[in-house]
């Protein structure tokens, strides 16, 4: 009978005698296979190009005393940063019907979390897929860690790669034993039943890449398994594998995969052109019956005395190099346009962009906006996967049971717009749309709930000063005050989405 990796692992965990491989051996083989995969190679390549190291570094020149320029331009970094900044540079807002839930979420979504979400978006574009893992810090507060894409081996439940059965994380640690520097590779196997730890230590005799159980975690009674987290003296496991992901696209391919050849050619063409400009002589001298001994003496006399000696019928002619790189520059301009076109990005150095109208700018940003909108949709799914862990945290800390409440994340994309037009459109929408919707799209509003509270406070003060009749007109702030739904108070202990250990 053929078994999948997870079937084999489940059978091993329930009845080890029926499986010829140990979990440590399975973990070792999965990591080796992942590091040999095309996806791993593409991830490393994307990270390398983001750090401004392309194939031009392999450029050589076998001719002595000739230039070998290797000009790198941080093209991929600019493209990736543009997408991340366009989608996530402006503060995104949380929209929920429950005011209590919204306040609790905003406590979790602090500046540290928001920076990690931006890093997550950048990582997805750079590597094709990015990972973020929830955990409890030393103070018992829910926190999140960005895990490098090259350190995670996912064990997907379905062929569409939308649900996880488990994942393996591996990473290196440098330690010192006496005066010797030593690298240990750690591996963690996370599934709904807890987490098992492994390590490889070549000095201790295990083969390269072969893992053994790390007995610094757990004990023999629980088969060297630890819970996902502990609060107080209670151990818990999440109902789902504790990690969430963000994909740049369905195929999990990074941006570099689509524009690598163009980046390489731009760097090579610039480097070769630089070699020509560096090595070509401004003047070429043609000597006839030179009276000196060698060319070195000729150059010395020319430099020191501005004159040279010649024999009878001798002389010096001068040839001037004629360089024309217009064709190269035209070719590079064409490649630059192709690069921004195929990367779904905007060339901000385009001289025509500054004079474009609002409608024209919208067309220029159409591809970037569509690409980032797709990434934003994927990111909303990431928030949905994180909701389970956040709701359990609220229950454990007694902030309420919000498992039946929903929230949405609204991204404020950084599209250059005419603010006057946007504000006028917002004013003309009064009476057609709710005040919350209008404020969410107003360019000056960062926190809709705070703005609504401020409007209510100003309304109450004006009523005290001038009377209720001041707000009879439709342009005032006198719309009905929005109702809120109070979250239900929870109690610590076993919570939905959580399995209590022991």
List pLDDT tens digits, range 221-239: 888 899 999 887 888 899 9
Average pLDDT in the 313-320 region? 70
Out of 178-182, 376-380, 412-416, 435-439, the most confident range is 376-380
Q: Would you put residue 347 in left (φ > 0), alpha (ψ -120 to 50) or beta?
A: beta
Residue carrying structure tokens 């570099």? 256
User: 288 or 200, which is more confident?
Assistant: 200
CA 190 to CA 24: how far, in whole Å?
13
Which of 219, 143, 151, 140 lies closest to 190 in space, CA to CA?
151
What backbone torsions phi and psi does residue 172 show, to the nearest 5 degrees?
-95, 150
Q: Tokens representing 322?
A: 């004629």
Q: Which residues contact 343 (CB under 8 A, 6 or more apart)?
A: 79, 255, 258, 259
CA 261 to CA 56: how far, in whole Å?
11
For 446-468, b/e burial (b = at least 16 CB within 10 A) is eebbebbeebeeebeebeeeeee
C-alpha dihedral sign at 270, 272, 277, 279:
positive
- Please tell me the number of Cα atoms within 13 Å of 72 on its side-chain side: 16
Which of 45, 36, 31, 44 lies closest to 185 in space, CA to CA?
31
CA 332 to CA 123: how far, in whole Å?
28
**How many helices (H) and strands (E) are present in the chain, helices listed first?**
14, 16
Average pLDDT in the 67-79 region? 95
Average pLDDT in the 158-162 region? 92
Q: What pLDDT is stored for residue 442 in this prediction?
A: 83
Q: What pLDDT is stored for residue 97 in this prediction?
A: 92
**Distance (Å) of CA 127 to CA 41, 76, 265, 476:** 10, 12, 21, 50
pLDDT value at 485 more than 70: no
For the entire predicted model, the pTM comes to 0.77
Average pLDDT in the 72-85 region? 96
User: 419 or 258, which is more confident?
Assistant: 258
């Amino acid at each position: 009978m053929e078994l999948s990796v997870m079937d084999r692992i489940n059978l091993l965990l329930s009845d080890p005698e029926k499986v010829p491989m140990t979990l440590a051996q399975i973990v070792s083989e999965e990591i080796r296979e992942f590091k040999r995969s095309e996806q791993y190679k593409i991830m490393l390549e994307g990270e390398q190009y983001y750090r401004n190291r392309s194939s031009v570094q392999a450029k050589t020149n076998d001719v002595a005393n000739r230039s070998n320029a290797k000009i790198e331009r941080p093209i991929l970094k600019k493209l990736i940063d543009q997408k991340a900044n366009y989608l996530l540079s402006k503060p995104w807002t949380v929209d929920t019907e429950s005011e209590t839930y919204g306040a609790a979420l905003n406590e979790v979504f602090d500046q540290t979390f928001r920076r990690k979400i931006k890093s997550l978006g950048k990582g997805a574009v750079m590597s094709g897929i990015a990972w973020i893992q929830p955990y409890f810090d030393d103070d018992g507060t829910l926190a999140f860690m960005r895990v490098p894409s090259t350190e995670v081996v996912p064990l997907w439940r379905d062929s569409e790669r939308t649900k996880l059965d488990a994942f393996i994380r591996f990473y290196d640690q440098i330690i010192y034993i006496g005066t010797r520097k030593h690298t240990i590779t750690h591996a963690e196997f996370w599934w709904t039943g807890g987490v098992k730890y492994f390590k490889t230590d070549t000095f201790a005799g295990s083969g390269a890449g072969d893992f053994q159980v790390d007995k610094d975690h757990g004990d023999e009674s629980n088969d060297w398994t630890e819970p996902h987290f502990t609060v107080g003296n209670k151990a818990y496991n999440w109902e789902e594998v504790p990690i969430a992901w963000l994909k740049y696209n369905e195929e999990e391919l990074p941006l570099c995969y689509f524009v690598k050849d163009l980046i390489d050619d731009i760097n090579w063409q610039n480097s070769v052109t630089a070699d020509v400009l560096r090595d070509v002589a401004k003047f070429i001298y043609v000597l006839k019956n030179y009276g000196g001994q060698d060319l070195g003496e000729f150059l010395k006399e020319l430099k020191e005395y501005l004159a040279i000696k010649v024999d009878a019928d001798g002389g010096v002619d001068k040839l001037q190099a004629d360089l024309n790189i217009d064709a190269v520059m035209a070719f590079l301009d064409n490649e630059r346009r192709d690069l921004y076109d195929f990367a779904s990005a905007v060339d901000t150095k385009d001289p025509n962009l500054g004079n474009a109208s609002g409608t024209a700018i919208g067309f220029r940003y159409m591809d970037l906006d569509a690409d980032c909108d797709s990434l934003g949709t994927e990111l909303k799914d990431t928030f949905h996967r994180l909701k389970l862990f956040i709701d359990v945290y609220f229950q454990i800390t007694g902030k309420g049971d919000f498992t039946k409440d929903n929230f949405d994340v609204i991204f404020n994309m950084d599209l250059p717009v005419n603010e006057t037009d946007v504000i006028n459109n917002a004013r003309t929408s009064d009476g057609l749309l709710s005040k919350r919707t209008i404020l969410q799209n107003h360019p000056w509003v960062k926190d809709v709930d705070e703005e609504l509270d401020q409007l209510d406070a100003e309304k109450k003060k004006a009523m005290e000063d001038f009377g209720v009749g001041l707000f009879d007109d439709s342009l005032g702030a006198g719309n009905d005050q929005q109702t809120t739904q109070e979250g239900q108070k929870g109690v610590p202990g076993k919570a939905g989405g959580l399995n209590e250990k022991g």
